[in-house]
Amino acid sequence: MWWLKEVAVIDPSQTISSPCDVLIKDGKVLDIASSLTEVDVSAKAQGEAVETIEGKGKFLFPGLIDVHTHLREPGQEEKEDILSGSRAAVRGGFTTILAMANTQPVIDKRALIEFVRLQGERAGYAHVLPIGTVTKGMQGSELVEMADMKEGGAAAFSDDGKNIQNAEVMRLALEYAKLTGLPIISHCEDKDLAGDGLMRRGLASGRMGLRGIPGSAESVIVGRDLILAEETRGKLHLAHISTAESVDLIRKAKARGVDVTAEVNPHHLIFCDEDIKLNDTVLKVNPPLGSKEDREALIEGLKDGTIDMIATDHAPHTQAEKTRPFAEAPFGIASLETALSAVWQHLVVPGRLSLDRVVEAWSVSPAKRFGLNGGTLKPGAPADMVLFDPDYKEVIKPANLVSKARNTPFLGKSFQGLPVMVWVEGRLVQKDRMVL
């Protein structure tokens, strides 16, 4: 049994944001109280040994749930695999991750869903929930067997990495997914408008002479999908929203009652197109980083609830790939191990976003939208949780990363404020930044 004393509990699911004593037993939260005595605790322990943690000055919150990670297994294990990715997750404060389906082969049938789920269980770190593709072979034309895949453990459907260009296919997907109750996650990117662009079209792309991707490549598909979700009454989740125009469209659709949720990635909240350097592909990401105005609109959207969630879009690639010339390097940032601390440092510490909102957006609302067991420290809930120390300092070094990937913009940067203990179902899986 664990007894965390005087820890600042942040649990928006129960509107708790105050120092508490927390008891964990049999993998579950047993009790949260303003203070407990030795007598209370030994009565509840019923003979079991009690490990005590002095929580003063630290935060405890439900484990983060990341609805957008690329774990690359099967097929591209040189970039990442389910074991390394789920270890990186718990190092970063995530206790549940949803694995994207654009692997090789793509996850378009039940046997593959079961494979990913079992690999996650074998790894034994974060809960790994597979996302299935929407279309067979991710070819954008024929729908997968959604009900069968749900039975195998699919948490959602997405052709992420690729847009579903055919509007009728998208309409049918939203219609059929209703039978499963699972959301369709849309990677909104009009193929023709995006062309072979390398970064967001604007002053910065012009100055660097790099081919641009207009913001409209995203927002025209956001608009299309919102209209289709409204018409079908389907359940839509919009991945990695990156433009002010998209935020505006989502805000209006929500006001009309469309069943839509949206996510934003930490890098779109922290960086903008002006941060990109021609000789460094680390910020080459899809959707591309927008303007400063886009970034402000995303922060505002996250604050007012237009954007429901934060998600990493952890996209690991090898150094050999990321050190190619800008035009040839793949899109993506690996972020599971740094995302929470980066958001803390760049948004919470300067007062742009509250820690309560971060926990709500990265744990409570993903659990709610995807129907997951988690996102709360209510008594009886699984003890998936994070102890966060706002004073802990660390320089991000390649040697310390447990992900196989090194494509993070934070290498060499010093962070203050890190997750220092992580439990999955009451089992300690990370302590003092070491994965156990």
# residues contacting ligand DOR (CB under 6 A): 12
Options 89-97, 328-336, 396-404, 409-417: segment touching ligand DOR (CB under 6 A): 328-336
Q: Which helix or strand (DSSP H or E) is residue 65 part of?
A: strand 64-69
Residues in the chain: 436
Q: Which residue in 118, 109, 112, 119 sits closest to 85, CA to CA?
A: 119
Between 322 and 357, name the residue whose CB sits nearer to ligand DOR: 322
Give the Cβ contact number of residue 392 at 10 Å.
16
Cα 162 from Cα 159, distance rounded (Å):
6
Cα 328 from Cα 198, distance rounded (Å):
9
Cα 241 from Cα 247, distance rounded (Å):
7
CB of 297 to ligand DOR, least distance (A): 20
Residue of 285, 336, 386, 387 interacting with ligand DOR (CB under 6 A): 285
Q: Is residue 326 at the binding interface for ligand DOR, with CB under 6 A as the rule?
A: no
Between 67 and 253, name the residue whose CB sits nearer to Zn ion: 67
Q: Are strands 64-69 and 414-424 parallel, antiparallel or unpaired?
A: unpaired
Residue of 187, 201, 295, 404 interacting with Zn ion (CB under 5 A): 187
Between 225 and 313, name the residue whose CB sits nearer to ligand DOR: 313
Q: Is residue 331 at the binding interface for ligand DOR, with CB under 6 A as the rule?
A: yes
# residues contacting Zn ion (CB under 5 A): 3
Cα 357 from Cα 348, distance rounded (Å):
10
* Percentages of the chain per state (helix, strand, coil), in multiples of 5: 35, 25, 40
| 8 A C-beta contact, residue 163 and residue 190 | yes
Q: Which residue in 242, 339, 247, 320 sits closest to 285, CA to CA?
A: 242
Residue of 91, 110, 187, 224 interacting with ligand DOR (CB under 6 A): 187
Residue type, 96: T
Options 86-94, 157-165, 251-259, 266-274: segment touching Zn ion (CB under 5 A): 157-165
Q: Is residue 70 at the binding interface for ligand DOR, with CB under 6 A as the rule?
A: yes
Cα 41 from Cα 209, distance rounded (Å):
65
Q: Which residue in 208, 214, 274, 279 sits closest to 242, CA to CA?
A: 214
Choose from ligand DOR, Zn ion, none: what does 415 bind? Cβ within 5-8 Å by kind: none
User: What residue number has its CB nearest to Zn ion?
Assistant: 187
Cα 179 from Cα 148, distance rounded (Å):
11
Q: Which residue in 324, 367, 363, 359 sits closest to 343, CA to CA?
A: 359
Options 38-46, 330-338, 375-383, 412-420: segment touching ligand DOR (CB under 6 A): 330-338
Q: Is residue 160 at the binding interface for ligand DOR, with CB under 6 A as the rule?
A: yes
Q: Which of 81, 159, 225, 313 is catalytic?
A: 313
Choose from ligand DOR, Zn ion, none: what does 396 bind? Cβ within 5-8 Å by kind: none
| 313 has catalytic annotation | yes
Per CB under 5 A, which of residues 210..239 are in contact with Zn ion?
Answer: 239
Residue of 159, 160, 218, 225 interacting with Zn ion (CB under 5 A): 160
Options 16-24, 248-256, 297-305, 329-337: segment touching ligand DOR (CB under 6 A): 329-337
Options 110-118, 121-129, 324-332, 360-368: segment touching ligand DOR (CB under 6 A): 324-332
Enumerate binding residues for ligand DOR (CB under 6 A): 70, 102, 160-161, 187, 285-286, 313, 315, 330-332
* Active-site residue set: 313
